[in-house]
Structure 1
Amino acid sequence: MLSGRERLILFVLLGAGFMLSVDFSILNVALPEVGAGVGLDVTGLPWITSAYALPAAGFTLLFGRMADLFGRRRLFLAAMVLLAASSLLGGFATNPQTLLAARVLQGFATAMTIPAAMSLLTTTFAEGSTRARILGLNGALLSGGFTFGALVGGTLVSVWSWRAAFFVNVPVAVAILLLTPFLISESRVPDRARLDVPGAVTVTGGLLAVLYGIIEKHLLWGAAGVLLLVAFWMIELRSPAPLAPVRILKLPTVKWGNYAGLVIFLMEPAMIFLMTLYLQKTLGFSALTTGLVFGVPGLAAVAAGVLAGRSIGRFGSRRMLTVGVLVQGLATLPLVFLGTDRSALAILVPALFIGFFGHVTAIVAYTVTGTSGLPNEQQGLATGLTSMTQQVAITVGIPILSAVAATQSVELTGIRLALSVNVAVTLVSAFLIWSGLRPRDERRAATAAAPRLERVS
């Protein structure tokens, strides 16, 4: 049983994540109104999202490690201050420049908040069934936040204005700022803490360049980003105090947990985007109806988070992660065969229910997996990696599968092709994850058995 103080800590840390997910969802609904409000034309609308996504993905690993080195509570409080200030700036914006600057600052605030809050969670609650249940609750609240934001976003924006999508953050951030110092102690900072500046510069610059290259379909930027990431790896091999020690990156739980997270978040948001196009352009539904089609099955995701946390304690994260990824992929398979008749909803809605359930189960399991087996002093790095994986995948998944769909001249044919790629990658990845996370003794046994099998054959 959790104490009263531990429940309040959960309220603060999980509340911060819930707020960010609600705000992200509300702003997506309000994009056209936001653009019109500051004079940003339709071609510039994607940059309202990209201006946020680039720093949110590019700086998460850096801030995760900074949380370990300089104090997790300190970084968390600084993130709340920056979030409140940037939300006020965005809410009062009257031109595109101010609005996009606010979105960049919100991206930085997110890159600071997520690893700091997650590492505070994983160091407050020891590895095991309790932590798994708490991370399950976190997954449920994040999913609930996206669903809640999608369902109420249109109403909120229509009753007040698009500015409410920014202002809603401020009172929540202020409340967290007031409560946190009384509830959460500062993490212990290692002696002679030092930041790996060359590693920080190369990994951040590399991620930003790769993401920008994918978003803008600019090959040279992408190639430059890859070279910087190679340089980062070489620096980490030689650095006396690396930003991300290579031995940690090679741990099966870290390596395969983050690979799973990459696949989970590459494929599911892209599927939702493709189905949004299908519902509105192929079937002719309104934006409100589309929101309901996704919002109602989204309720399954809330239950999945709670159940996943309990199931991981019983069956293990490896099994639940593989099952979650499999369910996500198999639930997408029927969508490949949807036609142009509105009766397709009879297949789409149940598939979304099942797919969202698997998706959130996989999210909880990959978070537990990616943060397991590491000491408390490296939890900022571990949660920074899992958060970075999530942000990067969300940022690039839609452009990549949209490019696949664009190879076909008929829109529905392109959507089917992109969904087929989605299913194939997800199902193959489920097998790789199951194999990669095998306990060491099983891997040794399989390796030892291989020569015997060759002799028998």
Structure 2
Amino acid sequence: MRTEGRTGLVLLASCLAQFMVVLDVSIVNVALPAMRTALGFDAEGLAWVVNAYTLAFAGFLLLGGRAADLFGRRRVFLVGLGLFGLASLIGGLANDPALLLAARAVQGLGGAVLSPASLAILQTTYPEGASRSRAFGWWSAVGGIGGATGGLAGGVLVGLLSWRWIFLVNVPVVVLTAVLTVAVVRESRAAGRPGLDVTGAVLVTAGLVALVYGVVSTETEPWTSVPVLGSLVAAAVLLTAFVLVQRRVRDPLVPLSVFRIRSVTTANVVILLVSSAMFSMWFFVSLHMQGVLGFDALTAGLAFLPQSGSVVIGSQISSRLLPRVGARALLVGGAALTAAGFAWFAFLTPTTSWVAGVLGPGIAVSLGMGLVFPAVTTAATSGVDGGLAGLVSGLVTTSRQIGGAIGLSVLSTLAVARATSVGASGAPAPAASTAGTTAAFTVAAVVVGVAALVALLVPAPARRGSPEPARV
């Protein structure tokens, strides 16, 4: 098989995996009412259909990425596929709430292995330069499409078939991806076969799970409640202990020296901030379209298609410009455009139509995000030893997921407080809801504006003959 054909199929396998992983974060939302009726969930249990996946996914990303480096990226990728496919089959056939929640947790674990391994496979398959930038562009675009089309895909599957098919549809995709992987992906791993830092793995996984648990618990508990504060304190203790362990062990799970590479550190901060706002856009715009504009779920899903297309366009523009202008210019420009889109969203009123108030800013935000994603992936992996490909892939994916979880929880709390205050003054429900949404978007604009400023710290493109990446 020609090299171009093989690498194209490697890209296809990696993109299929990333699409499934990101899609399954959001596709279940539309199916929750049907699941509640079919399996008898109570309100709290139903929330954990989403949260079980989020917890496992965010908690195991770093471990999954490092495992790919140590035990082989193709092997770990196939293990993740197996876990994800088996959990999808069990979830689709589940007739008990507990079994479905367990399946969702295993799905999240499979996703935590798949996502960084898929990116690490691309990093080690494509040489640094234009071809890798294009590959990262498609990988980022497909992830963005997965997040944007979850509601639409869920609505179609539930409407035409049943809620079970939001899980079962993954099974043939997993089989196809596994066949492609076995056929075209070559095995690679870190040189020297360093040992697995078990203590570090336990500490960072437990710390990230505690952090995400504390954040998602704010859906039902106030930030000052014992469950939330207890989880956040436990997360701080565990993650602090993890850093101390990493400084002492011979083969750390996360060599702290990687954070001295300025592009790695700044890129992770940028994606943390941008993701904290990005996740909120899909959430708040969906609520506004259905709660204020009166769209049904399917119409709302279709209304997101321009945003999905804008993510793809932005990603392709970014991947083509990366070799010419470098990651810094695209990160600054993309984040600035995203911030401007959120600021535009802040002018929404209850009577603003979809065309006048949602379409334009939605395209601006999505196009900006499309510019950011390939650039931040390139920046976060540039100048890093190939033996750490899985680790840095896990780092950037963890930053994206943690940022999204924290941002959505904080902005939701802010929106609810603002909506409650406006509603208490006698304003009708649509006006109160819109006030909460615009308050959240105003803060999101500021946060992404800060991300644009942080992106200025990303090193400029290295001149020829300059071997070392900038370090902090």
With normalisation by structure 2, the TM-score equals 0.89
CA contact (8 A) 2:340 2:445 kept: yes
Corresponding residue for residue 246 of structure 2: 236
Deviations along 1:73-106, one digit per CA (max 9) or x if unpaired, are: 1101111111111011101111110110000000
Name the structure 2 match of 1:273.
283
Q: CA 1:384/1:227 → structure 2, altered by over 3 Å: closer, same or farther? A: same
In the other structure, the counterpart of 1:291 is: 301
Asked if the contact 2:190–2:386 (Cα under 8 Å) also holds between the matched residues in 1, the reply is: no
Deviation at 1:367, TM superposition (A): 0.8
C-alpha deviation, 1:344, in angstroms: 5.7
In structure 1, how many angstroms separate the alpha carbons of the residues matched to 2:275 and 2:80? 24
> For this pair of structures, how many residues does the alignment match?
441
| 8 A contact 1:405–1:418 mirrored in 2 | yes
Q: Taking structure 1 as reference, are residues 418 and 23 closer, same or farther at Cα in structure 2, changes over 3 Å only?
A: closer
CA distance, structure 1, for counterparts of residue 300 and residue 188 of structure 2: 44
Name the SS of the counterpart of 2:194 in structure 1.
coil
Match of 1:349 in 2: 359
| Corresponding residue number in structure 2 for 1:358 | 368
For residue 333 of structure 1, report the CA deviation from its aligned partner: 0.3
Using the size of structure 1 for normalisation, the TM-score is 0.92
Contact 2:326 2:461 in 1 (8 A): no
Q: Distance in 1 between matches of 2:120 and 2:193?
A: 21
Counterpart residue identity of residue 351, structure 1: P
Q: Is the 8 A contact 2:25 2:53 kept in 1?
A: no
Instruction: Say yes or no: does 1:12 pair with 2:34.
Output: no
Matched residues in 2 for 1:254 and 1:14: separation? 23
> 1-side partners of 2:43 and 2:352: how far apart?
29
Query: Unpaired runs of 5+ in structure 1?
Result: 442-457
Asked if the contact 2:21–2:115 (Cα under 8 Å) also holds between the matched residues in 1, the reply is no
**CA–CA distance in structure 2, aligned partners of residues 261 and 135 of structure 1:** 15
User: CA 1:109/1:421 → structure 2, altered by over 3 Å: closer, same or farther?
Assistant: same
Q: Deviations over 1:128-168 (max 9, x none)?
A: 11101110011222223334443343122221111111111
Is residue 2:388 matched to residue 1:378?
Answer: yes
Alignment of 1:76-95 (within 5 A): 76-95=77-96
Quick check: 1:86–1:106 contact (8 Å CA) kept in 2? Answer: yes
- Contact kept, 8 Å, 1:87 with 1:167, in 2: the verdict is yes
CA distance in 1: counterparts of 2:347 and 2:244, whole angstroms: 46
Contact 1:76/1:116 (CA < 8 Å) preserved in 2? yes
Contact map agreement 1:150 1:295 (CA 8 A) in 2: no
Q: Are 1:209 and 1:222, in contact at CA under 8 Å, matched by a contact in 2?
A: yes
Cα distance 1:376–1:436, how it changes in 2: closer, same or farther (>3 A)? closer
Q: Please tell me whether residue 421 in structure 1 is matched to residue 443 in structure 2.
A: yes
Aligned to 2:452: 430
CA distance in 1, matches of 2:298, 2:42: 22
Question: Match for 1:10: what amino acid?
Answer: L
CA distance in 1 between partners of 2:287 and 2:152 (Å): 18
- Residue 368 (structure 1) aligned to one of 378, 384, 394: 378
| Contact map agreement 2:315 2:370 (CA 8 A) in 1 | yes
Measured after TM superposition, the shift of residue 436 of structure 1 is 4.8
Distance, in Å, in 2 between the alignment partners of 1:57 and 1:246 is: 20
Q: CA deviation at 1:440?
A: 9.7
Who is 2:139 aligned against?
A: 138
Check the 8 A contact 1:256/1:437 in 2, yes or no. no
In structure 2, how many angstroms separate the alpha carbons of the residues matched to 1:202 and 1:432? 29
- 1: CA distance between counterparts of 2:188 and 2:457? 36
Instruction: Give the alignment's Cα RMSD to 1 decimal.
Output: 1.9
- Tell me the CA shift for residue 56 of structure 1: 0.3
Query: Structure 1 347/406 Cα, relative in aligned 2: closer, same or farther at 3 Å?
Result: closer
Structure 2 CA distance, aligned partners of 1:332 and 1:375?
Answer: 37
Aligned to 1:184: 185
CA offsets per residue over residues 336-388 of structure 1, 9 Å max, x none? 12111043641321110111010121111111110111121110111010111
Per-residue deviation, 1:61: 0.5
In 2, Cα distance between the equivalents of 1:249 and 1:282? 45
Which residue in 1 is equivalent to 2:45? Answer: 44
Counterparts of 1:65 and 1:212 in 2: how far apart (Å)?
Answer: 23
Q: Is the alpha carbon distance of 1:364 and 1:66 closer, same or farther for their aligned partners in structure 2, counting shifts above 3 Å?
A: same
- The answer for the alignment partner of 1:213 in structure 2 is 214
Contact 2:25–2:54 under 8 Å retained in 1: no
Cross-structure match for 2:223: none
Q: In the alignment, residue 115 of structure 1 is paired with which amino acid?
A: P
Change (3 A) 1:296 1:182: same
Alignment partner, residue 397 of structure 2 = 387
Alignment match, 1:100: 101
Aligned to 1:73: 74
Aligned twin of 2:425: none
Of the structure 1 ranges 45-54 and 5-14, higher mean CA displacement relative to structure 2 is found in 5-14
CA contact (8 A) 2:380 2:396 kept: yes
DSSP-derived class of the 1:311 partner: helix
Unaligned runs of 5+ in 2: 219-227, 423-431, 464-472
Map 1:394-405; keep pairs closer than 5 Å.
Answer: 394-405=404-415
| SS, match of residue 340 in structure 1 | coil
- Equivalent pair of 1:70/1:193 in contact (CA under 8 Å): no
Asked if 1 retains the 8 angstrom alpha-carbon contact of 2:200 and 2:252, the reply is yes
Q: Are the equivalent residues in 2 in contact too, given 1:38–1:99 (CA < 8 A)?
A: no
Q: Tell me the CA shift for residue 126 of structure 1.
A: 1.3
Q: Following TM superposition, by how much is the alpha carbon of 1:204 offset from its aligned partner in structure 2, in angstroms?
A: 1.0
Quick one: distance in 1 between partners of 2:19 and 2:450? Answer: 32
